[in-house]
Structure 1
């Protein structure tokens, strides 16, 4: 028998406030190791460890590659690296982004599920879209417990909602009550011998996130061809069905949930529309200039042809401007660059 001694937490927009409340409420003798991932921009220095250290009775530190898993401590993921658990030590990986993020919540949850099975408690806090849902499925598949912040209590309720509705989280409570729940959960004993074994899918996806050469060189990829392209590398995406949800992964390992893929496609479409608008405006300006030059030289037919080309480009540009004014980006997907210095 063993105890639930690994608590993994994931958050995005609005997550700093939730983490401050939750970790500030944990008792100084909290026996489990706490691993935290917050979505953050890749190039910035993270101020999250110092922010949490001010309110938390447990020691708080940024993750270090190869560091042992220490009970009674809080370890925070660092920018531009996935935080993973392998056996009883931490791994920092520069592997492919998942849902457009590195660090990603799903990577942490999935690796913890594979390494510690039913010893894991997964916690999804405030955030947009649905990172953490696939990881919640993995944790529960190995006998771990899932906890989601009450969506009504979260600043952004999308991540907790998806963790509940799709990921099947076992508990949903306001963040103010979460420390009490976690303190109860980490006293529970679990039967490691009776835990479900990690699936082949879990093993492959964890290896891909860690840039494992054997996983990258596999001739086959999990899932079936989806017909969609990866927004990150433009390779083919494969559909993966797990725990009642569908998601997508490409050959090199970029992974997308349905909501994250839709949001990324919207952003790519907006970028393409802006590029098209720029091209049309330049075409109109050049046609106007060439038409004026032709008119000065007395080439009436050429001047008329360039004028028509100018008018057509302007008309198309007006249509694209109207599309851009309507907006293709998801208004409910705010920036998640929080907790940064």
Structure 2
């Protein structure tokens, strides 16, 4: 990912499933306190578990990590975690939650987050797909690509399960395949002094 790409990023959307909690803990705990973008996260997790997960990440991090409530205001430097059993979508200044039907047998679904964030942020969105089983996220990454955003997939070596990142790579919608450590370095560059 070039300096030019990093300079234009205004938001990050991350999707994860199996193996995601520890990958996210690694990434979020290393974020700089002067992070200058909002980060939206869908982690496939049942209702109830996301509350303690968000609290754990918040404790381990220099930035504010919150479990999303419907109509929550988007703020730079915050990490927003989708609650279990709700789809999370991004609007211009707010985050919406809904309980429409599951997609790929999951709710929250990564595709809904990626597509909605891409409609709002266009070429200024960074999409990241982490370890996980299944195909969720590939369709949304396709939308991000069409709208000029930048997509990163976690590499097979550092993934617990390469299903979600592997599927996105196979579809040809990924710009960079990076290790967790390399993804962390990219996120750490998204500060006020870009």
Tell me the TM-score normalised to structure 1 length.
Answer: 0.52
- CA separation of 1:3 and 1:169: change in aligned 2, threshold 3 A: same
Quote the Cα distance in structure 1 between the aligned partners of 2:86 and 2:129: 19
**Cα deviations across residues 104-163 of structure 1 (Å, max 9, x unaligned)?**
000100110111111111110010111111111011111111011111111111111112
The secondary structure found in structure 2 opposite 1:28 is coil
* Matched residue, 2:108: 103
Distance in structure 2 (CA, Å) of the matches to 1:173 and 1:69: 27
The number of equivalent residue pairs is 187
Map of 1:30 onto structure 2: 35
Deviations 1:19-63 (A, max 9, x none): 011111111111110011111224x34221012112221101110
**Alpha-carbon separation, structure 1, partners of 2:172 and 2:114:** 12
Q: How far apart are the structure 2 equivalents of 1:36 and 1:150?
A: 19
Q: Equivalent of 2:53, from 26, 37, 48?
A: 48
Match of 1:69 in 2: 74
Choose the corresponding residue for 1:11, options 12, 16, 26: 16
Question: What is the SS of the residue equivalent to 2:72?
Answer: coil
Deviation digits for residues 200-230 of structure 1, max 9, x if unmatched? xxxxxxxxxxxxxxxxxxxxxxxxxxxxxxx
2:115–2:143: 8 Å Cα contact kept in structure 1?
yes
CA distance in structure 1 between the aligned counterparts of 2:26 and 2:46, rounded to whole angstroms: 23
Work out whether residues 4 and 186 of structure 1, in 8 Å CA contact, stay in contact via their aligned partners in 2: no
> Is the helix fraction higher in 1 or 2?
1
Cα pair 2:32 2:191 within 8 Å, conserved: no
Q: Which residue of 1 aligns with 2:4?
A: none
In the alignment, structure 1 segments of 5+ residues that lack a partner are: 190-341
Alignment of 1:1-341 (within 5 A): 3-42=8-47, 44-46=48-50, 47-184=52-189
DSSP 3-state at the match of 1:92:
strand
Decide whether the 8 Å contact of 1:134 with 1:167 is kept in 2. Answer: no
Larger Rg: 1
**What TM-score do the two structures reach when normalised by structure 2?**
0.90
Query: What's the CA shift string for 1:185-204, capped at 9, x where partnerless?
Result: 67899xxxxxxxxxxxxxxx
Q: Secondary structure at the match of 1:154?
A: coil
Cα distance in 2 between the residues matched to 1:158 and 1:186: 31
Contact 2:66/2:79 (CA < 8 Å) preserved in 1?
yes
Return the alpha-carbon distance in structure 2 between the equivalents of residues 86 and 49 of structure 1.
21
Residue aligning to 1:201: none
Q: Bigger relative contact order, structure 1 or 2, given CA contacts below 8 A and separation 6+?
A: 2
Gaps of 5+ in 2: 1-6
Q: 2:131 touches 2:165 (CA, 8 Å); kept in 1?
A: yes
Residue 167 to residue 103, structure 1, CA distance change in 2 (3 Å): farther
